[in-house]
Structure 1
């Protein structure tokens, strides 16, 4: 018997003898401390049962045969348990590693999103994007050119988890690679569609709406690729209308043409772009109506754009008992003057 085994054997024998004689709380506390030594020496459950059986048989040599046999059965049970328990610990360690890797990936994914809206005296932008899980399949985008024109987009990968997040990353880099067309909505979607069709799996698709605001003539140009229709709010009529975002989703076929639309924008008017995680919020088992969303936005329309999207998100989150079922992205672009 090795020195460590002899030490553990004697320690356990003294502890068991003390407990059998005193039945004291102190003896039970000693047993708790002994369990720490078991961990330090990497003792398995079956080794502990074997140790107890050896010590007890030395202390009580004339054990009934049934008791000895019961130890044999217990030892076999603990061998199986020990194997299962070690496998369980291994899986937990792997799960922790995966969680750590996902946390790093989620942080990297967030770094791909614009960190600050491009607000000016003329333009007020607010955006909120919240993943339903660790990783998001939603993407939003801002960019300004040398003429002060503002391009913005909201996209949604049809899928979830890591594959959707990887597609989202591809969208960002693909958009950065075609700068000369990124403020021409229809042309951008056509080029992006070819990139997506060549590079993602055939069972994954991407929807997107892309718009450009030109402060020189106060017009908003936009095009859609099968994305959730947004809204246009007219301050003059105090009313909302639905934006047309028809068009084939990105990635289905390499040759697609997209229609481009234009809106004249007056002071106080604003555009609402969103993902289906907003419109597919459920309350009492039913999807909320789109009119409910515009009513919420209208209720807070006197506030800055960022405060509007924050409050709408909190209200919809509360309606779902704070459990998002899909990635949530809501963006507002308002002409201030």
Structure 2
């Protein structure tokens, strides 16, 4: 520490010992800022305090001086740990800024437009559990009588998952006006993912296509959660299964395809495992509970249905999502 700072500290200490006023404390606080700016370590501060105290109160017992030596040794390790902690905090703050920027880019990149198809009501909710989402919802349409929807889930979080999802988005953009069926769509996306994404990254995906001309909903799945079909006439749910490997596992993977006719009042719920595997402190939310949540608002419009299910599951989890939440409702009007 510079000699002039040592002298200044000694004078501030002397005045405080004699007066113990608020003004003296303020001078000490101001002086400490200068120490921080000059990157003076904690052990150096204690050493100068000991030296100044010997001049201000020379009659203190030797044991007191020994205690300062002990404190200096403690502060050496403490100072190193403090610097390391401050460095980590700074890095975390920088990373948080980068994550927020990446999240904004992801939100812009993955924006999608709900199709407007006569007789079909569409609603959806997608909410990340962290800064960035590993879920993806994408709509395609000819804006006349056909609408397609992709719901995907990357097995991973953060920036790697976002980069992986950008490949899926790239593939779906290339199929915006395609006449391909669901199984063909998944085959195309699978080849893109398999060639472009790290071997440790896998994606589940459900793709469905609605044809208003014959009220037919065709679908295919790449290891994704089965969609739910609610039959109004029966007042019950049916699961829509389709065989298929996760995207990115094998370039030659084949995907089965199914089809159902949708009647008035029927709806289809497509979701990620953030819905089906929602967890509370007591354990996983039962499947019947989720079906009851969806069924309890079957008379509302599609967007209100999706928002209600999210709000209830979010509440049940203490407003702390354990996984990304994505839910799409397609309802025949």
Name the SS of the counterpart of 2:308 in structure 1.
helix
Identify the residue that residue 205 of structure 2 maps to in structure 1: 208
Q: Distance in 2 between matches of 1:64 and 1:285?
A: 61
Offset, 1:251: 1.6
Q: In structure 2, how many angstroms separate the alpha carbons of the residues matched to 1:127 and 1:165?
A: 20
Task: Tell me if structure 1 keeps the 8 A contact 2:135–2:272.
Answer: yes
- How far, CA to CA, are the matches of 2:271 and 2:246 in structure 1? 16
Match of 1:302 among 299, 303, 307: 299
| d(CA) in 2 for partners of 1:322, 1:181 | 40
TM-score normalised by L of structure 1? 0.91
* Paired residues of 1:282 and 1:320 also in contact (CA < 8 A): yes
1:15 CA displacement: 1.9
Alignment of 1:221-240 (within 5 A): 221-240=218-237
Matching residue of 2:55: 58
Shift of 1:179: 4.3
RMSD, aligned α-carbons: 2.2
Contact 2:114 2:122 in 1 (8 A): yes
Q: 3-state DSSP class of the match of 2:242?
A: coil
What is the count of residue pairs matched by the alignment? 333
Matching residue of 2:161: 164
Change (3 A) 1:146 1:29: closer
- Divergent runs of 4+, >6 A: none
- In structure 1, what is the equivalent of residue 10 of structure 2? 13
TM-superposed CA distance for 1:181, in Å, is: 4.2
- The SS at the match of 2:129 is coil
Superposition deviation, residue 150 in structure 1: 0.8
1:80 partner SS: helix
Look up the match of 1:39. 36
Match status 1:281 vs 2:281: no
Aligned-residue offset at 1:329: 0.6
| Gap runs ≥5 in structure 2 | none
Which of 183, 186, 201 aligns to 2:183? It is 186
Deviations 1:252-307 (A, max 9, x none): 21112212211212222211100011011124533223222121111112222111
CA contact (8 A) 2:117 2:212 kept: no
Please point out which of 21, 24, 31 is paired with 1:27.
Answer: 24
**Worse-superposed segment, 288-297 or 90-99:** 288-297
1:83 to 1:286, Cα distance in 2 relative to 1, 3 A: closer
Q: Taking structure 2 as the reference length, what is the TM-score of the superposition?
A: 0.92
Aligned partners of 2:297 and 2:156: how far apart in 1?
A: 32
Q: CA deviation at 1:158?
A: 1.8
Shift of 1:225: 1.1
Question: Is the 8 Å Cα contact of residues 232 and 271 (structure 1) preserved in structure 2?
Answer: yes
Determine which of 251, 254, 269 is the counterpart of 1:257.
254
Gaps of 5+ in 1: none
Matched, 1:242 2:239: yes
Does structure 1 residue 74 correspond to structure 2 residue 46? no
- 1:143 match: 140
- Between 121-130 and 174-183, report the one with greater CA deviation: 174-183
